[in-house]
Amino acid sequence: MQGFSKELIRHNQTIGFVPTMGFLHEGHLSLVDQSTNACDVTVMSIFVNPLQFGPNEDFERYPRNIEQDIELARRAGVDFLFCPTVDDLYQKELPVTMTATKRTNVLCGASRPGHFDGVVSVLTVLFNIVQPQKAFFGRKDAQQVAVVQGLVDAYHFPIEVIAVDTVREEDGLAKSSRNVYLTDEERQQAPMLSRALNNAAEALSDKSIEQTIEDMNSFLKETTSGKIDYIQILHYPELEPVVEKKGKIIIALAVQFAYARLIDNIVLTLKEEK
Ligand code: AMP
């Protein structure tokens, strides 16, 4: 892959990169769309990265369907589909490891210790192999976008990080590979996550942060059987507590259903303090 990339760069081709864990859906494909519009060549990776899963998480049963992914990627206009194995990417014992220290003590970083260490590690490897000018990430994983931007800035990767809006089902549920693990009943309830976020976004100018979170909590407890992992409102992308209600703010949540942990968020800009 690195050989192909070097050759493309030598021929002045711009490389757009879409890293994924596969089991592709329209969310992934919208990143591909953005890449094919902005770059000459689009590289997608499919790699379920063991480093970013905790010991009790769903690495083993993360959904996979490579045949279907190849077809979807081809139809979407992906030029290179890079599907390395664990041994291809990582030496047996890494001589240098990475720790994501900022923007990771909240949200998924707090619930999934080590998760973002795994994310920055795999992206460092993938960025060095693929050598893209632009890399595309979904806003559904807003904390990931914030952490990756931090990585790229701190270590001067010559890469532009481009964030792409969340693609949703018609009822508002954010598309996710993990949605297939919702039971029928949970699938009916799942749109309440985005409903809670939209309600909160509307209410936030008139309510305190604490009250908004409490109302979201009650709403989700009433309308879903999932266990609320977190509901947080923070400045974005710094992911610091909101002291003054102004500027860019993220309302984010995670709900654990029986076999699927779902996350969603909304980012809004508050004009003035009320
Ligand atoms: P994943 O395969 O879940 O690691 O996702 C790969 C990339 O696709 C990440 O940058 C995600 O943020 C992005 N992505 C996943 N779901 C969506 C969605 N519903 N809308 C937009 N981007 C998404």
- Residue 173 is given by DSSP the state P
Where is 249: in which H helix or E strand?
A: strand 247-256
The gap from C-alpha 216 to its chain's centroid, in whole angstroms, comes to 22
Of 74, 83, 176, residue with least CA distance to 126 = 83
Nearest residue (CA) to ligand 1, atom 22: 138
The tokens 């400045």 sit on which residue?
235
Burial class (CB in 10 A: 0-12, 13-18, 19+), 94: exposed
Position 238 scores a pLDDT of 96
- 167 neighbors 27 (Cβ within 8 angstroms): yes
Percent of the chain with pLDDT over 90: 96
Average model confidence (pLDDT) across the chain: 97
- Is pLDDT above 80 for 269? yes
> In which region does residue 172 sit, left (phi positive, over 0), alpha (psi from -120 to 50) or beta (all else)?
left
Per the listing, tokens 């654990």 go with 256
CA of 148 to the centre of ligand 1 (A): 14
**Region 5-17: what's the mean pLDDT?**
98
pLDDT for position 274: 47
**Interval between CA 271 and ligand 1 midpoint (Å):** 29
Nearest by Cα to 193 from 239, 164, 225: 225
CB distance 27 to 176 below 8 Å: yes
d(CA 5, CA 206): 52
Ligand 1 centroid to Cα of residue 244, in Å, is 31
pLDDT beyond 90 at 96: yes
Residue 232: in which H helix or E strand, if any?
strand 227-235
In sequence order, the 6+-apart residues with CB closer than 8 A to the CB of 28 are: 18, 20, 44, 138
Confidence (pLDDT) at 272: 67
The pLDDT value recorded for residue 267 is 98
The mean pLDDT of 109-122, rounded to a whole number, is: 97
- pLDDT > 70: what percent of the chain? 99
Tokens of 120: 């920055």
Average pLDDT of the residues in 167-187: 98
- Burial of residue 138 (number of CB atoms within 10 Å: 0-12, 13-18, 19+): buried
Of all atoms in ligand 1, which is nearest to the CA of residue 175? 19
* pLDDT tens digits, 24-55: 999 999 999 999 999 999 999 999 999 999 99
Smallest CA separation from ligand 1 atom 13, residue: 138
Q: Which residue has the tokens 């490579």?
A: 66
Tell me which residues have their CB closer than 6 angstroms to ligand 1: 20-21, 27-28, 30-31, 137-138, 140-141, 164, 166-167, 174-177
Q: Say what the pLDDT of residue 273 is.
A: 53
Burial environment of residue 132 by CB neighbours within 10 A (0 to 12, 13 to 18, 19 or more): buried
CA distances for 123 relative to 104, 120, 240, 257, 260, angstroms: 16, 5, 24, 28, 24
Q: Which of 11, 28, 115, 235 is catalytic?
A: 28
Give the residue-averaged pLDDT of 106-117. Answer: 97
Residue 141 CA to ligand 1 centre (angstroms):
7
CA distance 249 to 120: 24
Look at residue 244 in the predicted model and tell me its pLDDT: 87
pLDDT of residue 271: 81
Active site residue 25: no
